[in-house]
Amino acid sequence: MRLHYTTLTNNRGDALILSIGLLLLAIMIAVGALLWLQTPFGLPGDDPARTARANPPAQTSGEAAAMETAQSASGPGWVMLDPTAPPQPSQATEPASIPAEPITPAPQTNAVDVIEPDTADPIDLQAALPAESVTQSQATPQTPIGSMATLPPTQLVEMAKAAIKEADHMRAKRYLSAAREQAPDDPTVAAYLGITHTALQEFDEAIPPLQLAIDHDVMVDMCSVCLVQIHRTRREFKEAHQILSRLIARNPLTPDLYRDIAMLEAQMEDLPAAILNIRSYLRLVPDALVARRTLADWLLFSGRNEESIAEWERLTADIPASHQGQIPFSTVLIQAGNHERARDLLRQVARANPDAPVQLYRNLSAANLRLGAYQEAIDVLRVGLSKYPKDFVLRFNITCAFSMSDMLPQALDMLRQLHADAPDTLGAYLDDPDLAALHADPSAAAWIAEVKAAAAATDQ
């Protein structure tokens, strides 16, 4: 029996991954820009203040403080260590193991107007710069290309930092390219150049210098973040997953790494691994509402209905605006077959929110139809249609309610209106079992047969 309500979906797919990728890139550039501007270019050991860098798992109290400072400076998204810190030997650790066999999420019903969880807003690079940021009139004069060969690499890198401060990545690339011509094997110059190529989405050019820096244990975390961005953009998920696993082994207290690897695993349809990692993220950030909703959704898609309902119960208790949590929760209840509880919940929401969104009327009518409360479903749908008269789901649901109530003239009239307004959309619903009474009526059945025959002729 087909249900007609707003459904959650696990197919966040490209849009979600792309938004995370763009967020990752924006944060990476912002953090890099800020820290480049604050730290002079130098060789390993030049900056003793960096000795407090967190280097898990053997994390001292000083290291914990350094990690906390890095996290507070970077904002929502990737929380990486200082990209200008002196290189430290990497802690080679095998990538975290994950279940080998991906699962196929349970099939979902008609996805209409999905309420997606919010993602963090990308960081505005200009807004993230210090207040004393250089204005256009103060912009650093550009150095003629021919004269770059006479400048030492350290000075060229400092000039690249100034260009980054002005959001001029092309000029930064010219300086860093000139520096690398003089010092082709310098891993620090290579790291800066690879990061700049990544910011410009010049991925083919970015990979060799990034890999050189990583091989020499220079700015490993920042360069690894860039490689993850490149592999995700190219949909090379296995490679991105391996790098994220190594980053987690190096930085086990960085919560956003767990969130991002969980999102990647969900796109790889490995929900058991995704659930484990989103729970690891929530152990570090227990009040993250978006992640808690994501966990509840993934549990539902995995067929773990009771666990999903329990998560939603805890979640809705912490969401201040009632319909923002209760309506998606009602979807979970309907998909789990708990129609009576969904109806009770939605009745409360309707009383408290006279201007509730269309999803309330879709879900409440669906719950009533499943409970056999056809007249209440019709009443709810009429209220909904008075506010959202063009909504296809509400119009089709009331057609089903009329058919199931043996109000066949009204059902056929509504079906004709739907066909006039949305013939292509209606075609997928004509065989819906909720229209069984219409199919049993000779006149209605004849009209439906004509519509289907005309559609078949058009397709040919």
CA-nearest of 289, 257, 295 to 276 is: 295
CA angle 89, 204, 239 (to 5 degrees): 55
Q: Write down the pLDDT at residue 150.
A: 84
Per-residue pLDDT tens over the stretch 442-452: 989 999 998 88
Residue 79 pLDDT exceeds 50: no
Q: What share of the chain is helix, strand, coil (3-state, %, to 5)?
A: 65, 0, 35
* Mean pLDDT within 109-136: 32
Given this model, what pLDDT does residue 22 score? 45
Percent of the chain with pLDDT over 90: 47
Residues 353-371 pLDDT 10s: 888 899 999 999 999 999 9
In this predicted structure, what is the pLDDT of residue 367?
95
Please report which helix (H) or strand (E) contains residue 212, including its range: helix 203-215
Residue 106 has pLDDT above 90, yes or no: no
Q: How many CA atoms lie within 13 A of 16 on its CB side?
A: 20
pLDDT at 2: 40
Classify residue 372 as exposed, middle or buried by CB count within 10 Å of its CB (0-12, 13-18, 19+): exposed
- pLDDT, tens digit (0-9, with 9 covering 90-100), for 254-304: 999 999 999 999 999 999 999 999 999 999 999 898 899 899 889 988 889
Identity of the residue numbered 176? L
CA distance 430 to 435: 8
CA distance 5 to 357: 13
Question: Contact at 8 Å (CB) between 272 and 289?
Answer: no
Q: Which residue has the higher pLDDT, 226 or 6?
A: 226
Alpha helices in 353-407 (DSSP H): 358-370, 374-387, 392-404
The percentage of the chain sitting over the pLDDT mark of 70, rounded to a whole number, equals 67
Predicted local confidence at residue 313, as pLDDT? 83
Amino acid at 160: A
Q: What is the DSSP letter of 146?
A: G
Neighbours of 198 (CB within 10 A): 28
Place of tokens 């004709």: 416
Cα distances (Å, whole numbers) of residue 405 to 12, 372, 428: 37, 9, 22
pLDDT of 16 over the 70 cut: no
Kindly provide the b/e burial profile for residues 408-417, where b requires at least 16 CB atoms within 10 angstroms of the residue's own CB: beebbebbee
Phi, then psi, of 119 in degrees rounded to 5: -115, 160
CA distances from 294 to 13, 263, 297, 337, 400 (A): 13, 9, 5, 20, 32
275-288 pLDDT per residue, tens: 999 999 999 999 89
For residue range 127-141, list pLDDT tens digits in order.
Answer: 333 333 333 334 445
Highest-pLDDT range among 53-57, 387-391, 424-428, 451-455: 387-391
- DSSP letter at 405 equals T
To the nearest whole number, what is the mean pLDDT of the chain?
A: 74
284 within 8 A of 257, measured Cβ to Cβ: no
**Residue 83 and residue 32 in contact, taking contact as beta carbons nearer than 8 Å:** yes
pLDDT: which is higher, 233 or 54: 233
Confidence at residue 144, expressed as pLDDT on a 0 to 100 scale? 55
pLDDT of residue 412: 93
Would you call the peptide bond into 389 cis, given omega within 30 degrees of 0 as the criterion?
no
State the angle between helix axes of 169-182 and 187-199 in degrees (0 to 180), rounded to the nearest 10: 150
Q: What is the pLDDT of residues 189-243, one digit of tens each?
A: 999 999 999 999 999 999 999 999 999 999 999 999 999 999 999 999 999 999 9
Domain spans in the chain, listed from the N-terminal domain onward: 1-46+70-289
The single-letter DSSP state of residue 120 is: P
pLDDT per position as a tens digit, 146-177: 577 789 998 998 898 888 888 899 999 999 99
Sequence-ordered list of residues with C-beta below 8 angstroms from that of 141, at least 6 positions apart, any chain? none
Q: Which among 285, 216, 243 has a CA at the least distance from the CA of 94?
A: 243
pLDDT value at residue 360: 92
Per-residue DSSP letter, 96: P
More confident residue, 43 or 293: 293
Tokens of 312: 């939603």
Q: What is the mean pLDDT of residues 308-330?
A: 76
Q: Residues 370-395: pLDDT tens digits?
A: 999 999 999 999 999 999 999 999 99
Give dist(CA 83, CA 220) in Å, integer.
Answer: 8
- 226's CB contacts (< 8 A; 6+ apart) are 28, 194, 195, 198, 206, 210
Say how far residue 339 (Cα) sits from the centre of its chain: 30
**Superfamily for the 1-46+70-289 domain:** Tetratricopeptide repeat domain (1.25.40.10)
Distance CA 206, CA 211 (A): 9
CA-CA distances (angstroms) from residue 171 to 164, 214, 378?
8, 24, 65
Residue with tokens 């912009």: 139
Q: Is a pLDDT exceeding 70 seen at residue 90? A: no
- Mean pLDDT along residues 411-435: 90
Instruction: Write out the two tokens for 424.
Output: 């292509």
Out of 49-53, 282-286, 343-347, 420-424, pick the least confident: 49-53
> Is 90 exceeded by the pLDDT of residue 453?
no
247 has a pLDDT exceeding 80: yes
